[in-house]
Amino acid sequence: MKTLKFNSCFADKLNKFVDLKRLSCTEYQSQIKLLKYFDKFLIDEHFNERYLTQEIIERYLAGISNLHPRTIYNRFSVIRLFCHYLSQFDPCCYIPGQLLKTVKSSSLRIPYIYTKTEIRNLLDKASKLSPRKPFYSYTYYTLFGLLYTTGIRIGEALALNIEDFHQDSKLLHIRKGKFHKARWVPVSVSTYMILKKYINIRQQINKISPDSPFFINQEYNRLHHNSVAQTFYLLLKRCNFHISKDYRPRIHDIRHAFAVHRLVKWYQDGKDVNALLPALATYMGHVNISSSQVYLQATSEMLEQGNQRFFKYFRENIKNNGGYHE
């Protein structure tokens, strides 16, 4: 893997910052590329101050304002973390606040939250995808079912090997999570049975070893994201989803649906949702709750559950104070 070198006046500090990130078992390669853009900017600006200033940060953001909002946000986020790191050694270093002016909320994509009926329909169509190729159909039925019941990312699912499914403990080992962070994901009994059945079918048609890819195509090679995406949109059409050039539901939106449906279930069960949010963040492979909040798109069902809980709390409060009568 090619190593990117920093050359600005902050080269030494940038290298130490990257080394620190890597100590946390994060490869950080994509972030290094983003830091390299900033490093080149400092060179072009002939910046040679002892610490980063508000002016230089704002000039950098102004220079990338023509990029896609998500690209701007990613570049900004890594620079902000670097500023936090520098401030530990020099309190004069400027730390930018939240990025509000550059990334407009209207430009961010609103995820599509599949209903449970839509998920069932999608899985039903997947199971009947190709009657003449039952294993092909069952592969996609298992894959999309796993995405919904666990909320793991599509890239994480496609990177799974046979050995990553620990049948004795009903756990999935996600070796290649986001930023190359690993984690363990418990699966439900029903999901466990489906995965076990899939492996049994695999063994009947093709020899497998612990390092064999979990999800394979007709040539027994690891499934590729592009092929999965094509099949997914074929299934959406068969489910009569509205699809246009400007907008169409994504595979990643299944992960959003998982998070939302999990919250709704907790509301229905009377659970303390705020106390359980850290558990959801850990399960989904997020470093903090704020990362999970991106997935918690408000739906009518979620709002209804929230309203019911508020009304119940309000009614009991009034009753306890003698101001409410049935």
Q: What is the pLDDT of residues 214-266, one digit of tens each?
A: 999 988 999 999 999 999 999 999 999 876 666 678 999 999 999 889 888 88
Residue 102 reports pLDDT greater than 90: no
Residue 101 reports pLDDT greater than 60: no
Last residue of a domain, one of 238, 269, 297: 238
Q: What is the pLDDT of residue 25?
A: 54
Last residue of a domain, one of 87, 107, 127: 107
Phi (first) and psi of residue 221, to 5 degrees? -100, 165
Query: Which residue's entry shows tokens 């003698």?
Result: 322
Q: Write out the two tokens for 180.
A: 């190359």
Q: What is the pLDDT of residue 103?
A: 47
CATH number at residue 135: 1.10.443.10
157-161, 286-290, 315-319: which has the minimum mean pLDDT? 315-319
Q: What is the pLDDT of residue 16?
A: 92
Query: Which residue's entry shows tokens 């190359």?
Result: 180
User: Mean pLDDT of all residues in the chain?
Assistant: 83
- Residue 315 exposure: Cα atoms within 13 Å on the Cβ side: 8
Give residues with Cβ within 8 angstroms of 51, minimum separation 6: 86, 90, 92, 93, 94
22-36, 55-69, 155-169, 232-246: which has the minimum mean pLDDT? 22-36
Nearest to 111 by CA among 235, 224, 259: 259
What distances in angstroms separate CA 280 from CA 153, 166, 251, 263, 292, one per listed residue? 14, 21, 20, 9, 8
**233 in the same domain as 260:** no
Residue 147 sits in which domain range? 116-238
88-97, 217-226, 243-252, 274-283: which has the minimum mean pLDDT? 243-252
Q: What is the pLDDT of residue 162?
A: 96
**275 in the same domain as 230:** no
**201 in the same domain as 225:** yes
Q: How many structural domains is the chain composed of? A: 3
Asked if residues 129 and 140 have their Cβ atoms less than 8 Å apart, the reply is yes
Last residue of a domain, one of 75, 107, 139: 107
Give residues with Cβ within 8 angstroms of 56, minimum separation 6: 42, 45, 47, 49
Give residues with Cβ within 8 angstroms of 156, minimum separation 6: 174, 176, 177, 285
